[in-house]
Amino acid sequence: MFRGISSISLDAKGRIAIPTRYREELQESCDRQMVVTVAVDDKCVGEPGCLWLYPLPEWEKLEQTISKLPTLNKMAGKLRRFVIGNASECEMDSQGRLLLPETLREFAGMEKHIMLVGQLNKFEIWNEAAWKAKEQEWMDGNDTEGLEELGSLSF
């Protein structure tokens, strides 16, 4: 499971270095095989600066779920085109680096400073400025959509 936030850098070749604390788990769970794509949840969609990074087995579960959606459903078709169509396989090298495809870096407005955010079964990769802006929005309480759905949660 991936949790926590790491500030990382994008190098001149478009690579990020996965923090050391995740590397062993990624080696064991997916033999360093990963998939990166555009993010499409309510906190990322339409926002510059966010990608999803999945270990291959988790990605394959998502693909199975998406493949079962009705073919003629317009939203399912958009989801397939957007998430599956933009997906790119990538392999973490022996130094823990991962090349982010140029098209995805451009889509998300990735610059030198990146935030890697653990989301249990995947990571979000954010442009640092976009992450800070979104984080401030959450802190200011301007994003309360769906809050009532969490009313039964206890910690």
93-146 confidence digits (pLDDT tens): 999 999 999 999 999 999 999 999 999 999 999 999 989 988 888 888 765 665
- Domains of the chain in sequence order: 5-141 (3.40.1550.20)
| Residues 29-71 pLDDT 10s | 999 999 999 998 655 555 567 999 999 999 999 999 999 999 8
Place of tokens 């199975």: 64
Q: Please, what sign has the CA dihedral across residues 9, 11, 14, 19?
A: negative
pLDDT given at position 153: 58
Place of tokens 């979104």: 134
CA atoms within 13 A on the CB side of 152: 1
Task: Tell me the C-alpha distance between 62 and 39, whole Å.
Answer: 13
